[in-house]
Chain A
């Protein structure tokens, strides 16, 4: 079955370390997205990519970086510059510009210890 796979489901990071969250899709979708979810704040867009080797900053890109070397993959790196990284991170993808909606992965919960 086609879908989006995020790994790991739970991730613990020490302060000052970078960590990379994986997102892979086999839906042949063009666009991919990273959202951060905090309690009571809904979803906030971190980065998105419409095509390979191109990506755009979202509303809260500071302290994060991404790459899009393959259509199927859109990893997110949470750097030590991100002041409050503990959150639930959701990856999504869409056909074209998302007119039919997004398909979401099951998320990665990152905790800084």
Chain B
């Protein structure tokens, strides 16, 4: 079946630290992969996406590379800010409408 596994949270980092949030997936064929971000009390916002192997999605200093050989799509940022504190969701989309979301990883950045 299709599924997404994210690293357990919560993650707490100091400002300007390097961030990695691991995401691995199980899917048949060639899914598209996404990272969404959710700020407290809000809906999810699309952060970045990649539609094929070796694609790199990037936005607002965040990056993730679609690695088919390791079935991974890890989220990285070189220097986090307090404003990056949120919950991050990895997701995959197979043919058809349905997305499969991970359970989310909470990030807190302290000054």
By beta carbon, the residue of chain B nearest A101 is B46
CB-CB nearest 3 A-B residue pairs: A104-B43, A42-B103, A43-B101
A/B pair count, beta carbons within 8 Å: 53
Residues of chain B having any CB pair with chain A under 8 Å: 32, 34, 36, 41-46, 49, 51, 89, 93, 96-99, 101-104
B93 — which chain A residues lie within 8 A by C-beta?
98-99, 101
A31 — which chain B residues lie within 8 A by C-beta?
97
A40 — which chain B residues lie within 8 A by C-beta?
103
Contact between A98 and B99 (Cβ–Cβ < 8 Å)?
A: yes
Residues of chain A having any CB pair with chain B under 8 Å: 4, 6, 31, 33, 40-43, 45, 48, 50, 58, 90, 92, 94, 97-107
A99 — which chain B residues lie within 8 A by C-beta?
32, 51, 93
Interface centre among A90, A100, A101, A106 (most CB of B within 10 A): A101
Contact between B42 and A107 (Cβ–Cβ < 8 Å)?
A: yes
